[in-house]
Amino acid sequence: MDIQTTAQIINFLAAMVLLTAFGMLVQRRIYGLIHLFAWQGLFLSVSTAIVGYAAGRHHLYISAVLTLTLKVILLPYILNVLIHKLKIRKEIETVVNVPLTMLIGIALVIFSYSLTAPVREMSTLVTRSILAIALATVMIGLLMMITRRHAVTQIIGFLAMENGLFFAATSATYGMPLVVELGLFFAATSATYGMPLVVELGVAIDILIAAFIFGIFFFHINTTFDSLDVEQMARLKEGE
């Protein structure tokens, strides 16, 4: 594969990651949301492997396999089990209506693009343009956490955010500490050549443990409030 084809495939996968992020933003059904999350993980994993191949950084293969097992198989499975046990069936309530959320999402993409434009000018990497997509994915995940009322969807938003960070760290900056310059909060973990393996393993396990803790939390919230709607938690007393 020549470098242009590789860059094109990576760009296409980046576009798919962004598309799945938007898909999650507008998806009402919770199972559909989990499927989209799994797809996003798959695109991430494939693009990580391709970046690893193209840049000759073979530890990225391990990242790709980790992403695949964790974000495509394990986390969706855990979430599925959770939803099954908590008997969540109904459609998800959103705080802001869907078309407006989409427009905000578009604005966020434009914002991330303009924010990363100087970095793009400086960088010489083939994958430099992906940084904007990764940042947009992070922001859309954040937007999803804000616009959804349901605790489970908020968690999926959080996980989608993490996907964006991972994307930035592995695909966009495999050769340069660009992310550090951006001063984002994940800067510490994204070192020069992708994330160092130890850090990456740590992050992966963090996410896994977070998922377990969320699960336990959900059970507790559910038994206390009889619902996972976070609006319920705004009140202090029952029956107001």
Partner 1 sequence: MKFLPLLMEIMQLLLLLTAAPVFAGWVKMVKCWSQGRTSPSLLQPYRDIAKLFSKDVVLAENASWIFRFTPYIVFGATLLAGGIIPILSVDLPLSATADVIALVALFAIARFFTALAGMDIGTAFGGMGSSREMMIASLAEPAMLMAVFTMSLASKSTSLSQIAYVIANSNIHTVLKPSLAFAFLAFVMIAIAETGRIPVDNPATHLELTMIHEAMILEYSGRHLALIEWAGMMKLFLFMSLGAAAFFPWGIAGAGNMAAIPVALIYLIIKFAFAGVVLVLIETGLAKMRLFRVTEFLGAAFLLATLGMLAHFILE
Residues forming the site for partner 1 (CB under 8 A): 4-5, 8, 11-12, 14-16, 18-19, 22, 26, 98-99, 102, 105-106, 109-110, 113, 129-130, 132-133
Tokens representing residue 228 in the block: 């996972």
**In DSSP terms, which residues pair with 150 in a beta bridge?**
229
Nearer to partner 1, 98 or 146 (CB): 98
CB of 135 to partner 1, least distance (A): 10
**In DSSP terms, which residues pair with 229 in a beta bridge?**
150
Burial 107-125 (b: 16+ CB within 10 A, else e): ebbeebbeebeebbeebeb
**In DSSP terms, which residues pair with 148 in a beta bridge?**
94
Report which DSSP code applies to 230: G
Please tell me the distance from the alpha carbon of residue 223 to that of residue 45, in angstroms, as a whole number: 36
Nearer to partner 1, 140 or 151 (CB): 140
CB of 41 to partner 1, least distance (A): 19
CB of 136 to partner 1, least distance (A): 9
Nearer to partner 1, 14 or 38 (CB): 14
Nearer to partner 1, 31 or 111 (CB): 111
The count of other CB atoms within 10 Å of the CB of residue 9 is: 15
CB of 147 to partner 1, least distance (A): 14
